[in-house]
């Protein structure tokens, strides 16, 4: 299984809100809700559980566990397989399927490593990997603000479910992995799963990596605000004259986040979470994100600053090599630049193929922040 810490103890308190919170800087990952310090690896397990509950409570909506029942089947034709899933809950049922494209040849004894690609993904996948194209928009629609409650997930759980599109997508990823675990004919190595997506689907890929512990490697591409950028920093960019996607805009644009999130976007200081904490939830598993500075609306300063804050958690846990960040320009949105392939392949090699001698010390920016000043101590005061 992917590297993981022990589950938090029964005494770990995980409320969905924190009364009286107020902090204009990025919230401290190393302080429990009640104000005591996080000092050990075991402490981090509880702190991570607290962050999970807060992200669901303030921003993402409730992520349900497995439905009352589910089943799956698999068929293969040449190098293309179809994984079909039926889920039942409270008298409702849905069915959905995903296409898996396989390499040619004989599968390794443990099965093929797998990349779950939101809407097919747009990163280059090394040879020797199977790729599952995940139709996340069928699970929960993301056309515009009218999409709330639309999609297969809501047919199963009802339109009153608090889950946003983001958490509905995570639920679907988890069911795919559930079925792969019990479908040896699919020849997938459950311990070697990566997830990726670009732009809006990059936001979703990061959420999946944070909440699904069976994902070994998370690769958001150009996810921007709502992804590897922090809400507070994106607002800072806007206040300094950059045209970016902020929390106040994003809640009117689409249904990626819960309707409850709109209650907080005008006063971000009361949020005890931001997306450096979402990214930190991936630890101790691996995370590498790629950003494009050619587009100011992708919040380039926010992404760099936010992932710099998340990196402190990986450093504190003694695994800085498990977290990478690359930020360059010179390419279209979601078009992969060849000069980043070496970094991407290194993360695949180390964290999916277990080539532990491979260096993954990649964390860099080209510093194109459109005149917005970055002062680390202003935001990261721990």
**Choosing from 52, 199, 303, 343, which is the catalytic residue?**
199
Q: Measure the CA–CA gap between 230 and 238, rounded to whole angstroms.
A: 13
Q: Measure the CA–CA gap between 137 and 199, rounded to whole angstroms.
A: 13
Q: Which residues contact 211 (CB under 8 A, 6 or more apart)?
A: 52, 63, 167, 170, 281
**Choosing from 45, 73, 331, 333, which is the catalytic residue?**
333
**Known catalytic membership, residue 147:** no
* Contact (Cβ atoms closer than 8 angstroms) between residue 232 and residue 208: no
**Known catalytic membership, residue 333:** yes
Q: Measure the CA–CA gap between 21 and 278, rounded to whole angstroms.
A: 18
Q: What is the 3-state secondary structure (H, E, C) of the chain?
A: CCCCCCCCCCCCCCCCCCCCCCCCCCCCCCECCCCCECCCHHHHHHHHHHHHHHHHHHHHCCCCCCCCEEEEEEEEECCEEEEEEEEEECCEEEEEEEEEECCCCCCCCCCEEEEEEECCCCCCCCCCCEEEEECHHHHCCCCCHHHCCCCHHHHHHCCCCCCCHHHHHHHHHHHHHHHHHCCHHHCEEEEEEEEEEECHHHHHHHHHHHHCCCCCEEEEECCCCCCCCCHHHHHHHHHCCCCCCCHHHHHHHCCCCCHHHHHCCCCHHHCCCCHHHHHHCCCCCEEEEEEECCCHHHCHHHHHHHHHHHHHHHHHCCCHHHEEEEEECCCCCCCCCHHHHHHHHHHHHHHCCCCCCCCCCCEEECCCCCCCCCCHHHHCCC
Catalytic residues: 199, 333
């Amino acid at each position: 299984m992917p590297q993981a810490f022990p589950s938090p103890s029964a005494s770990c308190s995980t409320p969905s809100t924190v009364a009286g919170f107020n902090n204009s800087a990025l919230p401290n990952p190393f302080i429990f809700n009640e104000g005591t310090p996080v000092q050990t690896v075991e402490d981090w397990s509880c702190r991570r559980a607290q962050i999970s509950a807060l992200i669901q409570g303030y921003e993402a909506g409730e992520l349900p566990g497995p439905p009352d029942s589910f089943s799956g089947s698999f068929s293969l034709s040449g190098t293309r397989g179809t994984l079909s899933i039926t889920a039942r809950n409270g008298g409702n049922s849905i069915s959905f399927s995903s296409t898996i494209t396989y390499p040619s040849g004989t599968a390794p004894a443990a099965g093929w490593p797998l990349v779950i690609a939101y809407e097919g993904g747009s990163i280059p996948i090394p040879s020797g990997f199977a790729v599952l194209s995940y139709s996340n928009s069928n699970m929960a629609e993301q056309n515009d603000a009218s999409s709330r409650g639309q999609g297969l997930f809501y047919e199963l759980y009802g339109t009153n479910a608090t889950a946003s599109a983001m958490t509905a997508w995570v639920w679907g990823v988890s069911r795919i992995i559930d079925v792969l675990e019990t479908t040896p004919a699919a020849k997938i190595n459950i311990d070697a799963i990566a997830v990726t997506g670009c732009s809006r689907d990059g936001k979703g890929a990061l959420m999946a990596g944070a909440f699904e512990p069976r994902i070994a490697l998370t690769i958001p591409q150009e996810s921007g605000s709502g992804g590897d950028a922090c809400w507070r920093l994106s607002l800072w960019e806007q206040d300094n004259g950059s045209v970016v996607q902020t929390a106040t805009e994003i809640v009117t644009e689409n249904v990626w986040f819960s309707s409850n999130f709109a209650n907080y976007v005008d006063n971000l200081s009361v949020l005890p979470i931001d997306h450096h904490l979402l990214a930190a939830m991936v630890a101790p598993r691996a995370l590498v994100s790629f950003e494009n500075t050619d587009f100011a609306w992708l919040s380039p300063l926010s992404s760099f600053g936010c992932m710099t804050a998340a990196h402190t958690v990986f450093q504190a846990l003694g695994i800085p090599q498990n977290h990478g960040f690359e930020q360059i320009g010179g390419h279209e949105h979601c078009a992969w630049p060849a000069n980043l392939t070496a970094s991407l392949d290194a993360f695949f090699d180390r964290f999916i193929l277990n080539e532990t001698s491979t260096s993954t010390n990649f964390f860099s920016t080209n510093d194109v922040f459109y005149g917005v000043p970055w002062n680390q101590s202003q935001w990261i005061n721990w």
